[in-house]
Every structure is written in structure tokens, then in C-alpha cells.
Amino acid sequence: MPCDASDPDQSMTFDAATGQLKSASGLCADAGKACAHVDILQLVKCDASSKTQQWTHNKTVVKVPNHFASVGCKGECVDCYFGGTGNAGLYGCGGSTNQDWVKTGNTFGEDYAGKKCMSQAPRK
């Protein structure tokens, strides 16, 4: 989804204490219970105890800098699908540049395409 600074679901913060990616609308990014590859990351009511809402953010890994890896779905990362032209989804951590997320203001944008934002998800 193209970045829109006025969209509260695109204004994301990473809470290092809980590992959650939280939108300004109060929802959290969730990898989903199936831990399957999905082409749209969900935004749901925040639950700090849910492992599928916990992420690690590593800025220094050479292979995939600035990636978000799921705690509950081992080996899965937030990914901008279709080589940076699709939505933010969940895909195997593989070192591709479409898993490189950079924060500008309060918005995490996909560095590879430069025009996609992390959240566009259906709400639950």
C-alpha cells in the first residue's frame, strides 16, 4: 500500500519492551495463528502475551538489515510481497531486500520499493 502519513494504521511504533508493532489506531501487527505465508499482515487488538504479535527488530544483520522477524512463527519475517510491489505480509526470512523496513517519521516503509508501507491489513 502506498504510504499515507494521515492513516493511523500506517503510523507504527515498535515497542522493544513487548516486541509489538503498534499502530496509532491502537492495533498490533499479528503474524496469524497458522504461521503461514500471507500476503497481507493483519492488524488486531493488542495482546502482549500473544507470541504471534511479538517481533524482533534487528538493525545490524548484514544479510537483512532492519527486518522484523516473528517470535511466534519462527523463520517468518514481515515482507513486502512480489518483489516490493505488493502488500506487507509474512514470508520466510530469506535475506531479500523487500524485508528491509526503514522508519521515516512514524511510518515504517519498505526500503526496496520505497513506496510501500507496512500496514494495510484487515482488522479483526
Q: Which domain holds residue 65?
A: 12-110
Q: Is the pLDDT of residue 42 over 80?
A: yes
Q: Is residue 40 part of a domain?
A: yes
What's the number of domains the chain is made of?
Answer: 1
Query: What pLDDT score was predicted for residue 54?
Result: 94
pLDDT in tens, 63-93: 556 788 899 988 888 887 766 556 778 888 8
Instruction: State which amino acid sits at residue 86.
Output: G
Q: pLDDT class for 123, splitting at 50, 70, 90?
A: very low
Which CATH number belongs to the domain containing residue 63 in this structure?
2.80.10.50
Q: How far apart are CA 121 and CA 106, in angstroms?
A: 17
